Amino acid sequence: MIMDKCREAFERHQAKLLNINYEDLKEQFDRHEKCFSKRYAAFSDFEKEFAIWEACWQSRQAEVDEKDKRIEEALKLIKAWSDQSYRDDAEQLIVDIEEALRGEHE
């Protein structure tokens, strides 16, 4: 699913650069994949550029996943506040949330 989004974003970008309709370009890639079991022609610019695009996408996705993890941890701390476990130490809650958002909370 994620790689489908990556591929679609790449192909939409390529269509825009080439000033052609995305659906037409997609259809061309679909046909190529059906005939050759490979979406982009070997050693083509599309193949090379997609490899770079995919590496960047994966790197960025890892950053997003890490931020999501930090947000989840902060939300757990806020829930703990709601459940009364931090009621006596609001300052510590704030410190813990800040650490969670920086990725430093244990």
Residue-wise pLDDT for 16-50, tens only, equals 999 999 999 999 999 999 999 999 998 999 999 99
Closest CA to 3 of 73, 44, 55: 55
Judge contact between 11 and 32, C-beta under 8 A: no
Closest CA to 77 of 56, 57, 101: 101
3-state secondary structure 17-84: HHCCCHHHHHHHHHHHHHHHCCCCCCCCHHHHHHHHHHHHHHHHHHHHHHHHHHHHHHHHHHHHHHCC
| 68-98 pLDDT per residue, tens | 999 998 888 887 776 666 566 777 778 888 8
More reliable by pLDDT, 104 or 16: 16
The pTM (predicted TM-score) of the whole model is 0.65
The distance in angstroms from the start CA to the end CA of the chain is: 31
Main-chain phi, psi angles of 21, to 5 degrees: -70, 130
